[in-house]
Structure 1
Amino acid sequence: MRIVVTGSIAVDHLATFPGKFAEQLIPGQLDKISLSFLTDQLEVHYGGVAANIATGLGRLGQRPLLAGAAGKDFGAYREWLEREGVDTEAVLVSETEYTARFWCTTDTEQNQIASFHPGAMAAAAGISLRQLAARVPGIGVVVIGANAPDAMLAHTAECRELGLPFAADPSQQLALLDGADIRRLVDGARYLFTNEYEHALLLKKTGWSESRVLSAVGAWITTLGEAGARIDGAPGQSATVREVPATEVVDPTGAGDGFRAGFLAARNWGLPHAAAARLGCLVATCVLESKGTAEYRLDGPTLLERLAGAYGKAPAAQLTPHLATALAAGRLGGHPKQSPVLVADR
């Protein structure tokens, strides 16, 4: 089955601050913030949640369909995505706007302050999933990732109309969406993805209880950072999968997108939720160990060793044949391809 990934396609500007954001915040003055951080490193990478998830799926042999909006500067990015196994035919390319931009600064405690300019992404509602479904049979799930809000709502409505299973992944856009819109995005989703903060924010803004959310979705997957991930389903059905330890945490940006790629690939292989979460945690760790959201490599033999080391031989064995197939197809490997880094100022 094919996986369609909707959401942002962006260029990421990633900087590091050699201090702690918390030390710059003054209690009692948080309503009058005026801060400037002198960063000591800047790198510019390809990114955007949809492109990040699609890249991970491509490396796992899925040949995902990327359905987002990009700008007139998309040519080189498109070529890179295609080399990584991503089908970009459904990308809407603007003739006048530039691809969206994401700016993120990370401190020494891995806290982040970020901003986002949509650029061409504002036109994403013009992408027709109906036309895509007519052209590409066998769509297994549509990921509704962070995007222009009207596009997220339109794509979700199309999925319901067409009977296409969808995964709700509102992430950063939860802060902008009101409760009614969030309820529309979530209701009927096969999967709902959030991190811990987004989990709490979704409950607050929708006014729903956890049990009410779980009655509306097939499974609610919450990433827990160093604690791994939790999968909640029907009442009484909950499982927590611990993390895969990182050799070194270089940059947390994009780790959640890596988790989603691993999880969705494993589910598309027909594996249970817990096994999917284990692969998701492993891919997320690979992202953590590299700079940028798409710099990581998936080395087949190493992946299998790390799975067995983190979870034991039996859980790793669930994933072994599928990763071996991806490796044989040339999607996994330890030899870096062309780097997506555009600029590196050190």
Structure 2
Amino acid sequence: MSAVLCVGEGLISLTPPTHTPLESATELVVSTGGAEVNVAIHLARLDVPTRFAGKVGADPFGARLRHTLDNAGVDTRHLEEHPDLPTGLYVKDATGGTTTSRYYRQGSAATTYRRVPNAALVGVGHVHLTGITPALSDDCHVLVRDLLALEHVRTSFDVNYRRALWDVPEAAQVLRSLASRADTVFVGLDEAGEVWGSETPEEVRRLLPQPSELVVKDGSHEAVAFVGSQVHRVPAPPVEVIEPVGAGDAFAAGYLAARHFGLDSDRALRWGHALAGTVLRVLADHALIDRTILENQAREGALDDVES
């Protein structure tokens, strides 16, 4: 079975207790994050052979990221270390009742990553990327562009627009160009509206006709998959939200895992909803859930308690 290679930025996440503003928090939970890291961890836990490539600092946070990926079953042989630059981190802040993320990644090791070694691509049938990476540096932009041009592998691209990294005019052009080159694209309807002015999933599809699979996530309402000329819609099950960061990555991982195992798009959307639901109910960016539990939740539309 071919492997999935996730390429991007690994981050350390610092999270106050539930609904606690950062200004008044007296403790922080340390965990790992980063969109591509989250996807890699979920895929590996769902029995998909997974690798991760990127660059972290030669520091305790970088070591923690490597250990977390290793423990999840992700192949980290191609995770590089920069001897001088630090591992990036972000802090979650619940000030005002809405969770926001404050990033400390400028000048991090990940911003210098430029090329995936050929050895990392041996046995890989799928490469997963996000729109966060090209915003980190010119080198990272070229990295993503080159990977999306690879032949003989499938590619997926999660738009993941981050307004803290770049402004709308630049992001709109770059993200559309990169997304048009991928086989599978994930995008939230809210971010498609912010970046491209798209108001419906159908408008997003008209903007991005090239991907063979386009998945548009409409928050707690539904997810829509455009697969060739077919349209698949699956409502999102209700879930009590504890902390939203990482849910989009979980959705992408659930969908990709289902497709990896040959499931149809409707079931893949259900896997995406189920895995996103587990992450919405924990403080961390990923949750401990195996393939059997996920299959049951996707089938029944029920979300059982899981560990973070």
Report what 1:102 is aligned to: 90
Q: Is the 8 A contact 2:12 2:30 kept in 1?
A: yes
Report what 1:251 is aligned to: 243
CA change 1:304–1:144 in 2 (3 A) is closer
Distance in 1, Cα, partners of 2:277 & 2:31: 19
Choose 180-189 or 91-100, whichever is displaced more: 180-189
Choose 213-222 or 100-109, whichever is displaced more: 100-109
1:104 is paired with a residue whose SS is strand
Report what 1:191 is aligned to: 184
Distance in 2, Cα, partners of 1:101 & 1:10: 5
The answer to whether structure 1 residue 84 and structure 2 residue 77 are counterparts is no
2:209 is paired with a residue whose SS is helix
Displacement of 1:173 after TM fit?
A: 4.1
Displacement of 1:106 after TM fit?
A: 2.9
Aligned residues: percent identity?
Answer: 22
1:183 is paired with a residue whose SS is helix
Name the TM-score, length of structure 1 as normaliser.
Answer: 0.74
- Alignment-mate amino acid for residue 171 of structure 1: N
The CA RMSD over aligned residues, in Å, is: 2.9
Indicate the structure with greater helix content.
Answer: 1
**Number of aligned positions between the proteins:** 289
Distance in 2, Cα, partners of 1:212 & 1:228: 19
CA change 1:54–1:189 in 2 (3 A) is same
Partner of residue 61 from structure 1, selected from 47, 52, 57: 47
Name the TM-score, length of structure 2 as normaliser.
Answer: 0.82
Query: Which structure is richer in relative contact order (CA contacts within 8 A, separation 6 or more)?
Result: 1
Distance in 1, Cα, partners of 2:216 & 2:117: 27
* 5+ long unaligned stretches in structure 2: none
Partner of residue 157 from structure 2, selected from 164, 168, 178: 168
* 5+ long unaligned stretches in structure 1: 21-35, 312-333, 340-346
2:29 is paired with a residue whose SS is strand
Matches within 5 A, 1:134-213: 136-137=122-123, 139-145=124-130, 146-147=132-133, 148-150=136-138, 151-173=140-162, 176=166, 177-204=170-197, 210-213=204-207
Report what 1:239 is aligned to: 232
Report what 2:33 is aligned to: 47
Distance in 1, Cα, partners of 2:80 & 2:20: 40
CA change 1:107–1:223 in 2 (3 A) is farther
CA change 1:19–1:103 in 2 (3 A) is closer
CA change 1:258–1:161 in 2 (3 A) is closer
Distance in 2, Cα, partners of 1:305 & 1:186: 32
Report what 1:31 is aligned to: none
Displacement of 1:72 after TM fit?
A: 1.1
Distance in 2, Cα, partners of 1:53 & 1:128: 18
1:8 is paired with a residue whose SS is coil
Report what 2:99 is aligned to: 112
Q: Is the 8 A contact 1:69 1:124 kept in 2?
A: yes
Report what 2:9 is aligned to: 8
Distance in 1, Cα, partners of 2:25 & 2:41: 28
CA change 1:66–1:106 in 2 (3 A) is same
Q: Is the 8 A contact 1:255 1:287 kept in 2?
A: yes
Partner of residue 307 from structure 1, selected from 280, 298, 302: 298
- Alignment-mate amino acid for residue 117 of structure 1: Y
- Alignment-mate amino acid for residue 48 of structure 2: Q
Deviations 1:89-113 (A, max 9, x none): 111211112211112213575x332
Report what 1:128 is aligned to: 116
Displacement of 1:117 after TM fit?
A: 2.5
Greater Rg over alpha carbons, structure: 1
CA change 1:178–1:51 in 2 (3 A) is closer
The answer to whether structure 1 residue 265 and structure 2 residue 257 are counterparts is yes
- Alignment-mate amino acid for residue 70 of structure 2: E
1:215 is paired with a residue whose SS is coil
Q: Is the 8 A contact 1:18 1:40 kept in 2?
A: no
Q: Is the 8 A contact 2:270 2:299 kept in 1?
A: no
